Structure 1
Amino acid sequence: MNFKHRFTPLALAIAALPLAAAAQDAAPAATLPDVVVTGNPLASDEIATPSSVLTGPELVLRRASTLGETLATQPGMSASYFGPNANRPVIRGFDGDRIRVLNNAGASLDASSLSFDHAVPLEPLLVTRIEVLRGPAALLYGGSAVGGVVNVMDNRIPSAPQPGVSGALELRGGGAADERAAVASVDAGGNGFALHADAYGRKTDDTRTPDYDRPDGAGGTTRAERIVNSASDAKGGALGASWVGEHGYLGAAVDTYRNDYGVVAEDDVTIRMKRDKLALAGEWRDADGAVRAVRGRVQFTDYEHREIEGTGEVGTTFTNQGTDARFELEHAPIGGLKGVIGGQAENARFQALGEEAFVPSTRTRQGALFVFEEQAVGAGKLTYGARVERTSVDSKGDDVSADPRFGAATGRDFTTGSAALGAVWPLNAEWKWTGNLAYTERAPTLYELYANGAHVATGTFERGDLDQRKERGTTLDLGTQWQRGRAHFKANVFVSQFSNYIALFATGEPPVVNDEGEELPVYAYHGVKARFVGGELQGGWRAFEGAQHTLDLDAQLDWVRADDRSNGEPLPRIAPLRVGLGASWGIAGWTLRTDLRHAFKQDRVPSDDVATPSYTLLNLALSRPFDAGPTSGLFYVKLDNVTDELAYNASTIGTVRPLSPLPGRSLSAGVRLTF
């Protein structure tokens, strides 16, 4: 046993035990209904779009080193899982630029959708709340939200009065990657002003796994027990300030993100990533005239990552510098309608420099107008919306010093439109129905248009199509919800039909031989007819409640079937049918949580992929909230993958899947303090 790696979680556990043992059970605080903010500009109690929220102790216990892994067990969600450091959320089988990742409703300008090995530059340790909308949310957030929206929230720009000083500190360690992490935040204010500061640091080693056969690149395999080149070192922080008044706020924040991590597809390549951002946000509300509220946010982002070779040389540099702005105006009721009109603009300059750059430098500009209206109809309500968007994607072509690859400078312009109709209809005090019908259009991205080169991370030669047409699809989502006390049930089914769905497909051409003599299969982006069908079921109930003991049970199931209807094959990287069972046993202030997750075999794969075996993972977590004078908090210990099951993620790209199994059995612990 490696005592060095086991020491961190055990030390945290021992240090926190006196606090937990001396804690008094906190009286339950009265809470208001949890209102979803994302895609809900009128702050309605109920929205028609299927949604999930992670906050409070549940978020603390589910937090992982990446956003995708944090959300991977939510209904209808998985992760791209390019090893433990590059994980983008996947919703209902949609990934990449069909999922809109937001930070406080502002765009996350980065390069994570360009390649599976590019991380999302958002730190889960600093997040106070994550909201997920499943299904088309393009109405308010653009064509790249056709699969859904993930909105990561924090308090870096305070929007409410801050009396006195408060803060939080969290220490955590252990796990399969021998994580050592700390995060601290402080909020202070008075006399109409509010201040925020935070900082974090996280280090991990190569992730431990059950023993597996790792491809050696020469046609054979070697036995391994860690994901090679998966260590990471991340750090960052932010400063923010706001003027906060009775009718609104106006504030700004500057934050920085740094992350150095290994690329699991290449044993000696490290990505050195940095992102700096300045954000301005404000709201004016509670007006009595024709305009009831105005909200706005503007962000300036400077993103860069360098891929460092084993020799220390920089192989490729990616930069993305840009501005995004978003404004919403809430109008007074007009007849039976109340709603918002808004506008959004983005301007991003993307550069790819180096011999391994497979896309040219580009400039992407987007401008959009949207409207969202809500109408009460009997006991229920209807929602209507529309959006029109203009997108320009211009390529700079070949650098004069480079080998001809991308041709002359050129550009494409697209006008896209989206429309949606939603309904929420209560049948009685316990049951309600929801429905959504949406038509969406998405402009092709820079890589779908201009890619032409070897993509080292995927081991392929990728080619775009300058004549690419915009993506078009229609989605119908139907749902029902029931709640009686602590017992609840929710079900959603959906079908998404695309007349043009842009994806990366094998061309069947002879492979391209690179400078190292490796043969790279040729793939090209082109549109096909496609259909996605699936659903999510989830429920929970209190099975037992006594003076000192409680037992809560829950279960969930999700599935997606995605087909390329032009070629008669399944679409790639789709999560299989998954079932989850959970139990939370409360005793004298402690909670023991058990999660059992089973993923069935995924053998509905295209001809250039292989089936992913089924697996069952068992996770345990022991937690205890506590109060110690002016300080309160949460202590927790987690034992993940108890049976040390060897498992692979079906949503991982096929060339990387055998290199990066899911983590093996591991112990971790942490303590979060608030004051």
Structure 2
Amino acid sequence: MYSHIFSRRALALGASLLCLSMSTWAQQQDAVAASVSEPGQSEKLGKVVLTGNPLRSQELAQPSNVLEGDALILRRGSTLGETLEGLPGLSSSYFGPNSNRPTIRGLDGDRVRMLSNSGASVDASSLSFDHAVPLDPLVIDRIEVLRGAAALLYGGNAIGGVVNTIDNRIPRQAQVGLSGASELRLGGAAAERNGAIVLEGGDKRLVWHADASARRADDLRVPSFTADGVTAQSVRNSASDSHGGALGASLLFANGYAGLSVDDSRNNYGVTVEPDVTVQMQRQRLSAAGEWRVDAQGSPQASGALLQRLTWSMGSTRYEHREVEGTGAVGTVFKSTGKDLRIELAHAPLGSLQGVVGLQWEDSDFSALGAEALVPSTSTRNGAVFVLEQFSSGPLALSAGARLESVRVDSRGDEASTGEEARFGAATRHSFSPHSLSLGGSYKLLGEAGGSKSATSKGLNLTANLNSTERAPMFYELHANGVHVASGAFERGDAHLRTESALGLDLGLVWQGSQQMLRLNVFRTKFSRYIALDATGVQIETDGQSLPEYAFKSVPALMQGFELEGRFDLPELLAGVQLSLTAQLDGVRGENRETGEALPRLAPLRASLGLDAQQGLWSGRFELRMAARQDRVPALDSPTAGYGLVKLSLARQFRLADVDGLWYLKLDNLGNKLAYSASSVATIRDLSPLPGRSVHTGVQVRF
């Protein structure tokens, strides 16, 4: 029902909102940056997380991480998955150096919601492990990660969590004169040559943004290994060449802003599992966003206004992905087009109660034509309404919310497969009505209670979150029928699948001192219907080869684990040298409750130990990352050996005239340890070890 209504009116509504935002004349914009803290502090507890937190409260019941500023620069990798790898509960579906999608608490694919400025990121990365996410970490200002069920605000596809990349392509703040940043990165295990530049200018009424980035990399160098009887010191067919850019502008008003941006991203990269295949990927997106607020001090109508803030965003995306054979012939073409609209309305406080209601609409069309088209052309329509309310009193904060969705998946069947063997049958339509409920809370056991403006106030805080979540099956889970080269299997969908259903509980305990922080989260998610891709035991003969058959089916499953992290400032041993110790331990276990078999691609027990030192403008870090042997694997998989990797980094801030800068040097895998990722699909794991010993240097300047 919601999809049908929204599909007719979404663009008209978005245009109306743009006119509404532009109708109020202004002098300056609200300080949205109040939630953004100083560079270099991004991994410490205490940030106001905007993703999944439209009420912008200081305490968030769900565990979260924020990367920005110098911390993001020093951690940034060539892909989003590599950038986030190693954070508590986060790993990546490592498919070589080019295709790394974040994995959260053992859940990957369409159980992790990928967002760009809180809007949908339309691509084909969830369909196959060898499909890259079309986001360049070089031009991202901030990354927010919510672990656990964030489906209340972003749908069932966030049942594992949310990764939101935030940039300033639609500016939200007044700008006086010209400013910008430029970064150059060289080296690494793939001999990368990376560069990016961002320029921004304007005044108190009109602000503009422009950025451009490029990256080239050779085949990834790794410690000597043997695969398929061949010994090598590099990962075959793993080179890449990418570039992109964007333009954006906003009009600023006393009570908000309205803006537009357009961006283009292109990436040509090799597919390791197919030594003669190169992917040519391209994505263009047109985005619009705005906000209108009631100004309690400057508006005479504010005292009786029910609406406090209206925020909206919309976008239109075109994505194309060509798999090119070594001869130059195009094997398979994946195309996806999508439109999305999101509206949030925050009402005025009703005593101690504040809340937000919202609408979301998404419309996407997908097609895959060619030799590896294992799914038919499909259209997916998704509409949703949601509400979130929060109550605060003294040391106690409670929240409750609900979301109702309407999802329609239309398959064109074999009508688009002219001249090809019929595999998908007649055109079909499937409709689903997922719903999600959430209860959360935080209680300050020790320290300042209520009224504190600081998110980093000292004390002991307890958090809890209970979620009941449903996810509609994806089109490939319903309609797959063909060879999936990336997983080395013949996959079959099930058109009779029902919604995936889970009940999750997350408990957290956070202690924040003046020089210490300790955080513990334990979680348990019980699936009554988990859509699993399981082996059937049947071998399928196709094109002269015999492949195991895997089928999508609903099974009862259980995911549970913990995350422990801490930071402690050490006594000053040398004059002017500040030392701090960081430590982390996390683990996740998942099993099919029907058979007792382990769920696939789970990261093992992991630990890390870091020592940070800072003296004046200089800073350095020593880090040891360890992973245990992963031997809890499905019957047709094999265990992954444990490892320990040593990393070092050195950085210096500097200032030349009106230019601020940061120079850094990173040394990774100093022991040149041969290591493999347990969260990789089995077909790629032995072909692509983790990077070997490397040196990476770069410089960023800001003016």
TM-score, normalising length from structure 2?
A: 0.90
Checking the alignment, whether the CA contact within 8 Å between 2:40 and 2:70 is kept in structure 1 is no
Identify the residue that residue 88 of structure 1 maps to in structure 2: 101
Aligned partner (choices 625, 634, 647) of residue 619 of structure 1: 647
Which residue identity does 1:671 align to in structure 2? V
**Runs of 4+ in structure 1 over 4 Å off:** 26-29
Identify the residue that residue 575 of structure 1 maps to in structure 2: 603
Identify the residue that residue 58 of structure 1 maps to in structure 2: 71
Counterparts of 1:171 and 1:655, CA distance in 2: 34
Q: Deviations over 1:111-161 (max 9, x none)?
A: 000000000000000011000000000000000000000000000000111
Correspondence 1:435-446 to 2 at 5 A? 435-446=464-475
The offset of 1:547, in angstroms, is 3.9
Counterparts of 1:382 and 1:230, CA distance in 2: 49
Identify the residue that residue 282 of structure 2 maps to in structure 1: 274
Residue 530 (structure 1) aligned with residue 538 (structure 2): no
Identify the residue that residue 29 of structure 2 maps to in structure 1: none
Correspondence 1:411-430 to 2 at 5 A? 411-429=429-447, 430=459
Residue 660 (structure 1) aligned with residue 676 (structure 2): no
Counterparts of 1:231 and 1:99, CA distance in 2: 27
Unmatched segments (≥5 aa) in structure 2: 1-37, 296-301, 448-458
Q: 452-461 or 582-591: which moved more?
A: 582-591
Which residue identity does 1:572 align to in structure 2? P
Counterparts of 2:541 and 2:267, CA distance in 1: 32
The offset of 1:590, in angstroms, is 1.2
Q: Deviations over 1:488-532 (max 9, x none)?
A: 0000000000000001100111x22232x2221110000100001
Counterparts of 1:448 and 1:41, CA distance in 2: 32
Residue 222 (structure 1) aligned with residue 230 (structure 2): yes
The offset of 1:628, in angstroms, is 1.2
SS of residue paired to 1:569: coil
Aligned partner (choices 364, 372, 384) of residue 348 of structure 1: 364
Identify the residue that residue 404 of structure 1 maps to in structure 2: 422
Task: Give the percent of matched residue pairs that are identical in Structure 1 and Structure 2.
Answer: 53
Distance 1:533 1:33, change over 3 A: closer
Counterparts of 1:486 and 1:314, CA distance in 2: 58
Counterparts of 1:664 and 1:544, CA distance in 2: 35
Which residue identity does 1:632 align to in structure 2? D
The offset of 1:33, in angstroms, is 6.1
Which residue identity does 2:426 align to in structure 1? A
Which residue identity does 2:276 align to in structure 1? D
Aligned partner (choices 449, 458, 479) of residue 508 of structure 2: 479
Identify the residue that residue 365 of structure 1 maps to in structure 2: 381
Counterparts of 1:308 and 1:192, CA distance in 2: 47
Checking the alignment, whether the CA contact within 8 Å between 2:77 and 2:137 is kept in structure 1 is yes
Which residue identity does 1:576 align to in structure 2? P
Residue 563 (structure 1) aligned with residue 591 (structure 2): yes
Q: Deviations over 1:190-240 (max 9, x none)?
A: 14010000000000000000000122xxxxx11010000000000000000
Counterparts of 2:665 and 2:696, CA distance in 1: 6
Q: 538-547 or 363-372: which moved more?
A: 538-547
Q: Deviations over 1:367-408 (max 9, x none)?
A: 000001000133221000000000001100012422110001
Counterparts of 2:628 and 2:386, CA distance in 1: 41
SS of residue paired to 1:401: coil
Residue 504 (structure 1) aligned with residue 533 (structure 2): yes
Q: Deviations over 1:303-322 (max 9, x none)?
A: 00000011100000000001
Distance 1:28 1:181, change over 3 A: closer
SS of residue paired to 2:72: helix
Distance 1:214 1:258, change over 3 A: same
Identify the residue that residue 187 of structure 1 maps to in structure 2: 200
Correspondence 1:100-111 to 2 at 5 A? 100-111=113-124
The offset of 1:335, in angstroms, is 4.4
Q: 330-339 or 478-487: which moved more?
A: 330-339
Counterparts of 2:40 and 2:681, CA distance in 1: 45
Identify the residue that residue 18 of structure 1 maps to in structure 2: none
Counterparts of 1:610 and 1:587, CA distance in 2: 47
The offset of 1:548, in angstroms, is 1.7
Distance 1:606 1:674, change over 3 A: same
The offset of 1:332, in angstroms, is 1.3
Q: 419-428 or 281-290: which moved more?
A: 281-290
Counterparts of 2:40 and 2:220, CA distance in 1: 39
Counterparts of 1:151 and 1:588, CA distance in 2: 33
Which residue identity does 1:608 align to in structure 2? L
Identify the residue that residue 451 of structure 1 maps to in structure 2: 480
Identify the residue that residue 263 of structure 1 maps to in structure 2: 271
SS of residue paired to 2:434: strand
Which residue identity does 2:484 align to in structure 1? H
Q: Deviations over 1:431-470 (max 9, x none)?
A: 0100000000000000100000001111110000000111
Identify the residue that residue 70 of structure 1 maps to in structure 2: 83
Distance 1:28 1:384, change over 3 A: closer
Counterparts of 1:67 and 1:139, CA distance in 2: 24
The offset of 1:582, in angstroms, is 0.2
Counterparts of 1:191 and 1:454, CA distance in 2: 56
Checking the alignment, whether the CA contact within 8 Å between 2:40 and 2:68 is kept in structure 1 is no
Counterparts of 1:614 and 1:380, CA distance in 2: 42
Q: 547-556 or 247-256: which moved more?
A: 547-556
Unmatched segments (≥5 aa) in structure 1: 1-25, 216-220
SS of residue paired to 2:495: coil
Checking the alignment, whether the CA contact within 8 Å between 2:39 and 2:68 is kept in structure 1 is no
Which residue identity does 1:126 align to in structure 2? V
SS of residue paired to 1:428: strand
Aligned partner (choices 302, 306, 313) of residue 318 of structure 2: 302
Identify the residue that residue 379 of structure 1 maps to in structure 2: 395
Which residue identity does 2:340 align to in structure 1? D
The offset of 1:28, in angstroms, is 11
Q: What CA RMSD, in Å, does the superposition of the two structures yield over aligned residues? A: 1.5
SS of residue paired to 1:521: strand
The offset of 1:587, in angstroms, is 2.9
Which residue identity does 1:267 align to in structure 2? P
Identify the residue that residue 24 of structure 2 maps to in structure 1: none
Identify the residue that residue 389 of structure 1 maps to in structure 2: 405
The offset of 1:286, in angstroms, is 3.0
Distance 1:27 1:350, change over 3 A: closer
Residue 171 (structure 1) aligned with residue 177 (structure 2): no
Counterparts of 1:27 and 1:386, CA distance in 2: 35
Residue 208 (structure 1) aligned with residue 218 (structure 2): no
Which residue identity does 1:313 align to in structure 2? A
The offset of 1:249, in angstroms, is 0.4
Identify the residue that residue 19 of structure 1 maps to in structure 2: none
The offset of 1:46, in angstroms, is 1.2
Counterparts of 1:580 and 1:190, CA distance in 2: 46
Checking the alignment, whether the CA contact within 8 Å between 2:482 and 2:490 is kept in structure 1 is yes
The offset of 1:34, in angstroms, is 2.9
SS of residue paired to 1:457: helix
Counterparts of 2:311 and 2:86, CA distance in 1: 33
Which residue identity does 2:274 align to in structure 1? E
Q: Deviations over 1:348-367 (max 9, x none)?
A: 00000112100000000000
Kindly tell me the number of residue pairs found equivalent between the two proteins. 642
SS of residue paired to 2:81: helix
The offset of 1:87, in angstroms, is 0.3
Checking the alignment, whether the CA contact within 8 Å between 2:479 and 2:494 is kept in structure 1 is yes
